[in-house]
């Protein structure tokens, strides 16, 4: 059944919202479970379609997967893996699944993994993934849309990444865990999700040091050294940042719970520049408030600890009605302004010039029918709709469901007028569901 979101804008968000487990961490922990001839029990798993996709992929490889949505946990028993091919049907839907490559090569010394897909937000090369595996001793080729890697054995070495790629860092870490000797990875990605993966690996018996810095050292261990693990995923800093943008944009006041505030320093610094107020309440929550029109600001996306590329889209929407002209520079992905045309339908004055979005604040946005082109573009449209006068209908919301757990319920809890609608594919009529829970 196709669905869309109907949102009546113009209400200040207030109350509190609890952030889910980090999608970009949970998916990599699930892939890392393939290294273990035993069971991984992972908590704080978000209820997302991407998690279902990864679980299905692991099952095709021979893993036993028990995904308990109510308890937000997943149990993966990878003892009897009997297949090293990650099929196109799964990997083409979600780029994060490509990290099974490192885990399979690390444990079995071979893998056949489809070239990655996911949101079309720009070129996302795999050259550094291949470079890292080859440095460890694997022979790698691309054939028929698949990456095929084989190795007689893997041996630790020094590897320098030309850019701090998150995916390449993760794949090299996973491949190096069971390699002979030590691997020193320089210019590694420093994202919190990398630290979470390293902590998970160490909890199962691996020896990873330096995660969160530009140099990660992986001392190889034996398969027998790895043991069953129980672990809790970090909170989702991107989901948290999206709600921060929405609260500030609607001149709201709300508490955001289940977060690590230090993961959001680049984001909250910009909110303060924009005229919002940020109050850290305790180690796991903060209050965001804004009672005036936001100020324009300039943002440049950078690898962590810089401003996240995944939050560029919702912050464009937060700045659409700011006082003055804002410039957002996207330095990571070249196609991450795909929502601009849809925002113009809502009355936004925003132009793209190469890798920059130039935003001239307007007095008011107007609700319209818009389409989500990818995950973060969908989040951008939700933030804009919250600020707009009138009703906005957002289609293709399956993109949003990939990364935002229960977004309708959470925004309803903050006072938004929002509903999820079933659409009959034949006549495109909408039928409102969950009327009692989310009624206007």
Residue 79 to residues 33, 35, 55, 251, Cα–Cα distance (Å)? 10, 9, 15, 52
Contact 144, 1 (CB under 8 A): no
* Three-state SS annotation for 96-122: HHHHHHHHHHHHHCEEEEECCCCCCCC
Strand 369-371 and strand 85-86: the pairing is unpaired
Q: Note whether 274 and 292 are within 8 A (CB).
A: no
Pairwise CA distance, residues 204 & 226, whole Å:
5
- 316: three-class secondary structure by DSSP: helix
Pair 171, 132: CB distance under 8 Å = yes
Give how far Cα 429 sits from Cα of 145, 390, 425, Å: 39, 20, 8
How many of the other CB atoms lie within 10 Å of CB of 404?
Answer: 26
Catalytic residue among 5, 119, 240, 375: 119
For the question of residue 119 being annotated catalytic, the response is: yes
Q: Are 377 and 313 in contact (CB under 8 A)?
A: yes
How far apart CA 218 and CA 172 sit, in angstroms, is: 10
Q: Give SS3 for 22.
A: coil
Q: How long, in residues, is the chain?
A: 440
* Torsion angle defined by CA atoms of residues 264, 267, 270 and 274, in that order, rounded to the nearest 10 degrees: -110
Half-sphere exposure of 341 (CA within 13 A, CB side): 6
Residue 127: CB atoms within 10 A of its CB come to: 11
- Cα–Cα distance for residue pair 197/177, rounded to 1 Å: 12
Which residues are known catalytic residues? 119
């Amino acid at each position: 059944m196709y669905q869309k979101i109907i949102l009546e804008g113009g209400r200040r968000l207030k109350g509190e919202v609890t952030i889910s487990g980090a999608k970009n961490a949970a998916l990599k922990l699930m892939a890392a479970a393939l290294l273990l001839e035993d069971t991984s029990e992972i908590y704080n798993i978000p209820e997302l379609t991407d998690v279902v996709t990864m679980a299905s992929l692991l099952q095709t490889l021979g893993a036993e997967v028990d995904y308990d949505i109510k308890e937000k946990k997943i149990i993966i028993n990878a003892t009897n893996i009997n297949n090293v091919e990650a099929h196109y049907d799964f990997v083409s839907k979600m780029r994060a699944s490509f990290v099974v490559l490192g885990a399979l090569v690390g444990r079995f010394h071979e893998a056949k993994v489809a070239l990655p897909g996911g949101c079309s937000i720009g070129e996302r090369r795999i050259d550094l993934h291949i470079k890292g595996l080859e440095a460890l001793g694997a022979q790698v080729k691309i054939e028929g849309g698949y990456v095929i890697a084989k190795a007689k054995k893997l041996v630790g070495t020094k590897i320098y990444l030309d850019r701090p790629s998150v995916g390449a860092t993760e794949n090299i870490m996973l491949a190096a865990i069971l390699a002979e000797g030590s691997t020193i990875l320089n210019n590694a990605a420093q994202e919190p999700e990398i630290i979470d993966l390293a902590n998970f690996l160490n909890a199962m018996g691996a020896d990873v040091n330096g995660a969160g810095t530009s140099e990660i050292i992986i001392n190889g261990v034996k398969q027998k050294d790895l043991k069953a693990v129980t672990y809790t995923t970090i909170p989702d800093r991107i989901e948290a940042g999206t709600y921060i943008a929405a609260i500030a944009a609607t001149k709201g006041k709300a508490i955001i719970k289940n977060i690590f505030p230090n993961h959001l320093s680049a984001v909250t610094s910009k909110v303060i520049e924009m005229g919002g107020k940020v109050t850290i309440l305790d180690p796991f929550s903060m209050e965001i408030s804004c009672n005036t029109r936001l100020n324009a600001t300039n943002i440049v996306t950078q690898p962590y600890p810089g401003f996240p590329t995944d939050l560029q889209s919702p912050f464009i929407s937060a700045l659409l009605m700011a006082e003055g002209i804002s410039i957002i520079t996207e330095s990571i992905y070249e196609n991450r302004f795909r929502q601009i045309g849809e925002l113009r339908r809502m009355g936004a004055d925003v132009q793209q010039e190469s890798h920059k979005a130039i935003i001239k604040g307007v007095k008011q946005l107007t609700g319209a029918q818009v389409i989500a082109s990818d995950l973060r573009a969908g989040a951008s449209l939700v933030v804009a709709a919250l600020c707009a006068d009138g009703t906005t209908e957002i289609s293709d919301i399956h993109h949003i469901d990939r990364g935002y757990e229960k977004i309708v319920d959470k925004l309803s809890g903050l006072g938004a007028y929002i509903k999820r609608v079933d659409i009959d594919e034949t006549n495109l009529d909408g039928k409102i569901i969950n009327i009692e829970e989310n009624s206007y």
